[in-house]
Amino acid sequence: MEILDRKLLRDLGRLWAQVLAVALVMACGVMTLILALGATRSLEETRAAFYERYLFGNVFATANRAPEHLKAGLTAIEGVAAVETRIVKSLILDIEGMVEPAAALAVSLPDFGEPSVNRLYIRRGRLPEPTRPGEVAVVETFAEAHGFAPGDTFGALINGKKRQLTITGIVLSPEFIYAIGPGDMVPDQRRYGILFMSRSALEAAFDMTGAFNDVSLTVLRNADMDRIIEAVDERLDRYGGAGAHDRDDQISHAFLQAELDQLQAMAGVIPPIFLFISAFLVNMILSRLIALEREQIGLLKAVGFSSLHVAWHYAKLVIVICAIGLVIGGIAGSWVGGALTRLYGEFFSFPFLVFAHSADLFFIAGAVTVAAALAGAASAIRSVVVLPPAVAMRPPAPARYHTLGIGLGALHSVFSQLTTMALRHLWRRPVRTGLTTLGTSFSVGLLVTALFSFDSIDYMIDQIFFQTAREDAAVTFAGDRHPDALRALADIEGVMRAEPFRQTPVTLTNRHVELRMVIEGLPRQTQLSRVLDVDAEPIVLPSSGLLLSERVADKLGLRVGDAVEVDFLSRENLTVSVPVAAVVQSYVGLTGYMNIAALDRLMREGARVSGARIKIDPDRLDDVYDAVKQTPGIASIALLRLSREQFRATIEQNVVISIVVYSVLAVIITFGVIYNSARIQLSERARELASLRVFGFTRAEVSSVLLVELGVVVALAQPLGWLIGYGFAWSVARGFESDLFRIPLVVDQATFATASLVVIAAGLFSALIVRRRIDRFDLIEVLKTRE
């Protein structure tokens, strides 16, 4: 080992606390990078492997009732690899011990052989036998929520008839990695399940012999998706085809993709913040060290070390800091990344997890970190190179201070000499003071970003459940009905109010932009399901025209008064041009509303309802649930009363985790920045402060010089941090926005206050550690050392 390396080791030993503080900030950057990228990769690979091995479809379409012989035509479409026609129906379940009704989607399995698209992974048991119509396989999440095992039974209302079903197997499907019931806001594994039954059983139950209502296709590599979708639509149009779509519009895939996109977005935002701050801290530490060691640097050059050799010596210090940061961050990143992947694996049902152990990730993280740190060190190291050996022999000229301009001169009367000293010191290094403030404000910003999700979710819950969807349950019929069907519902004892709705799939087209979505027809004035304008005020639905959510209007480039082309997918060749009557608020899905009477007119089928939203007398909930389980014709029921609680619980659980993580990160940043700047100020001003003690100032007075400086920095950082936090929050809200959901940007004052309190506390803590050093000053030692 070179002798100079011993110096390096001893320097490290002396500076260990500062080195560790920077290394921790760096480690956070490395960790978040590895975490986000690693988890994204693992999940992507897991998903890809699952999709590939279990033949997840590429194109999906539904119809009312299409003859089975169409299959040959579908298979013949150029680029199609395999076609699987199925019967897919909604069911209401009656599960013992569960008061409220559960809903399920029954999907048919071919009577012979495995499905050629969307195969099942069998976790336990076996698939149902075609000869035994009462057998079902259920998805794992549903089985787990009920503690079901093969052999267990439950009741179901199948096409109006009550049947007892026996579970033969527990399965996973690439199609239902994420399953959410119609009308639900969050997945509820207990109240919504996916069942797989034999084709012949469903054919018999729903009178669908020789017909199908759902088809999935896989395509060949390089197939022309648009052409295939068009061709599928052409063939299914006459049979009530609701428009074929690719994976992007497949719910399970889209949700998973949204989740992955968010992870990836995190990798783009958080690690750079940490790397920036660690670069700044490295710069601060190294500049100070080099300023202190001017004579040593000069000496090394005088005795014949080349400039580069000496520069390399200081660069090594930086590399050691990076190495510590990388090791800590790498270990933490892989560990937390693994846990996160497992968590996701559990949340989404994957049959297996592929952990992407990518060495390149560590390499990337390492290279990025070292590059950032060396960039931070560059100016300090450059000063080593250019320092002429002769100049180094002389002590540095006394530092130059400036009067603080007009204002502060007058402040002499207000502030004590000590405070003026502190302010002047801050002013002397405006860049450093600015960067320290910026670094601290990032902590505030991170916390605001973490905490604002609570505000937004509260706001969203209020908007969705108390302003918009105020019903207790939403009942969907099996197919559209005559409005008389509403009466059957309203007559149930305990139903206090029932409001109809009609939903129909459409494609909206404006110029070249197309959007597949659902238009919902509602009565003119509703009390349960209200439509709100962009200012959250309830709207009375106009007698004609479309009301589109902001996202839909944006995507299509539409404004109020513009006409949009509406293609009703469930009707053959029915395309009309409809004006946009208003832009409305919506947080979930792509939504469009219309007066139900206007919708009926446009669709020319007479008055129709798809279902109803109902208000239930709280004392008679059980009666209503019972009645629903018995009522034929109900395909599914979403219980918003339960969703409300479920929603908060699910989201808050995630949010709490992220708040803890962000807070830890913010505290580490604050500590890294404040502790380091305090230590450096202490080092720069040791003589000055020691002299003050010699002159007879008390410890408290002397520390106050330093604490005032830190206090000013921390105080300045607050408003800046709020701004940064608001900016981050905005970008997070934007990052979350997808066709599936969107979060409003709401930041309460309490959030700003909490963020500030945490940072101020962390700052105070760091300052106190440094204060203890001042208290233990060895006056002789400090005054003796030549600087």
Partner 1 sequence: MAAIDTQARPVFHVEDLTKVYVTGEVEVRALNGVDMTLYEGEMAVLLGPSGSGKSTLLNIIGGLDQATDGRVEFEGEDMTAFGARQLTRFRRRNVGFVFQFYNLIPSLTAWENVALVTEIARDPMTPEEALAMVDLSDRMTHFPAQLSGGEQQRVAIARAIAKRPEVLLCDEPTGALDSKTGVVVLEALTRVNAEFGTTTAIITHNAATRRIADRVFHFHDGKIVQMVVNENPVPPSEVVW
Interface with partner 1 by CB under 8 A: which residues? 2-4, 6-7, 10-11, 14, 295-296, 298-307, 388-390, 393, 786
What separation in angstroms does the CA of 588 have from each of 176, 180, 189, 645? 19, 13, 19, 17
Smallest gap from residue 450 Cβ to partner 1 (A): 42
CA–CA dist 751, 448 (Å, integer): 6
Smallest gap from residue 287 Cβ to partner 1 (A): 18
Q: Which is nearer to partner 1, 14 or 402 (CB)?
A: 14
Smallest gap from residue 317 Cβ to partner 1 (A): 12
Smallest gap from residue 28 Cβ to partner 1 (A): 30
The encoded tokens of residue 93 equal 């379940």
What separation in angstroms does the CA of 480 have from each of 159, 236, 372, 605? 14, 19, 61, 10
Q: Which is nearer to partner 1, 6 or 482 (CB)?
A: 6
Q: Which is nearer to partner 1, 302 or 660 (CB)?
A: 302
DSSP line for 54-119: TT--SEEEEEEEEETTHHHHHHHSTTEEEEEEE-EEEEEEE-TT--S-EEEEEEEE-SSS--SSS-
CA–CA dist 702, 694 (Å, integer): 11
Smallest gap from residue 777 Cβ to partner 1 (A): 17
Smallest gap from residue 311 Cβ to partner 1 (A): 13
Smallest gap from residue 682 Cβ to partner 1 (A): 18
Smallest gap from residue 10 Cβ to partner 1 (A): 4
CA–CA dist 231, 304 (Å, integer): 80
The encoded tokens of residue 211 equal 């017909």
Q: Which is nearer to partner 1, 4 or 82 (CB)?
A: 4
Q: Which H helix or E strand runs over 475?
A: strand 473-481
Q: Which is nearer to partner 1, 201 or 387 (CB)?
A: 387
Smallest gap from residue 314 Cβ to partner 1 (A): 13
Coarse DSSP helix, strand, coil percentages of the chain, rounded to the nearest 5 percent: 55, 20, 25
Smallest gap from residue 393 Cβ to partner 1 (A): 6
How many helices (H) and strands (E) the chain has is answered by 22, 20
Q: What does the angle CA 705 – CA 706 – CA 711 come to, to the nearest 5 degrees?
A: 100
Sign of CA dihedral 740, 744, 750, 754: positive
Burial class (CB in 10 A: 0-12, 13-18, 19+), 587: buried
In the three-class reduction of DSSP (H, G, I as helix; E, B as strand; rest coil), residue 506 is classed as: strand
Q: Which is nearer to partner 1, 6 or 524 (CB)?
A: 6
Q: Which H helix or E strand runs over 353?
A: none
What amino acid occupies position 381? I
What separation in angstroms does the CA of 340 have from each of 30, 343, 356, 411, 573? 16, 5, 13, 54, 48
Smallest gap from residue 707 Cβ to partner 1 (A): 29
The encoded tokens of residue 281 equal 């801290």
Q: Which H helix or E strand runs over 182?
A: none
Q: Which is nearer to partner 1, 277 or 297 (CB)?
A: 297
Q: Which is nearer to partner 1, 6 or 734 (CB)?
A: 6
Q: Which is nearer to partner 1, 10 or 734 (CB)?
A: 10
Q: Which is nearer to partner 1, 6 or 132 (CB)?
A: 6
The encoded tokens of residue 600 equal 């009926």
| Strands of 59-67's sheet in order across | 80-86, 211-219, 59-67, 245-246
Using alpha carbons, select from 650, 708, 706, 714 the residue that is nearest to residue 679: 706
CA–CA dist 127, 474 (Å, integer): 32
Q: How many CB atoms lie within 10 A of CB 317?
A: 21
Q: Which is nearer to partner 1, 497 or 687 (CB)?
A: 687
Q: Using an 8 Å Cβ cutoff, are 714 and 760 in contact?
A: yes
Q: Which residues contact 181 (CB under 8 A, 6 or more apart)?
A: 103, 187, 188, 191, 192, 636, 638
DSSP line for 522-566: E-SS-SSB--BBTTS-B-PPPSSSEEEEHHHHHHHT--TT-EEEE
Tokens 């937004």 sit at which residue? Answer: 456
Q: Which is nearer to partner 1, 305 or 312 (CB)?
A: 305
Smallest gap from residue 390 Cβ to partner 1 (A): 4
Q: Which is nearer to partner 1, 4 or 408 (CB)?
A: 4
Smallest gap from residue 319 Cβ to partner 1 (A): 18
Main-chain phi, psi angles of 723, to 5 degrees? -60, -50
Q: Which is nearer to partner 1, 391 or 560 (CB)?
A: 391
Smallest gap from residue 3 Cβ to partner 1 (A): 4
Q: Which is nearer to partner 1, 10 or 487 (CB)?
A: 10
Q: Which is nearer to partner 1, 604 or 784 (CB)?
A: 784
In the three-class reduction of DSSP (H, G, I as helix; E, B as strand; rest coil), residue 216 is classed as: strand
Smallest gap from residue 312 Cβ to partner 1 (A): 13
Q: Which is nearer to partner 1, 1 or 359 (CB)?
A: 1
CA–CA dist 776, 760 (Å, integer): 24
CA–CA dist 410, 433 (Å, integer): 22
Using alpha carbons, select from 606, 586, 610, 585 the residue that is nearest to residue 597: 606
What amino acid occupies position 547? L
The encoded tokens of residue 278 equal 């660690």
Smallest gap from residue 373 Cβ to partner 1 (A): 22
Smallest gap from residue 684 Cβ to partner 1 (A): 17
Q: Which is nearer to partner 1, 2 or 533 (CB)?
A: 2
Smallest gap from residue 301 Cβ to partner 1 (A): 7
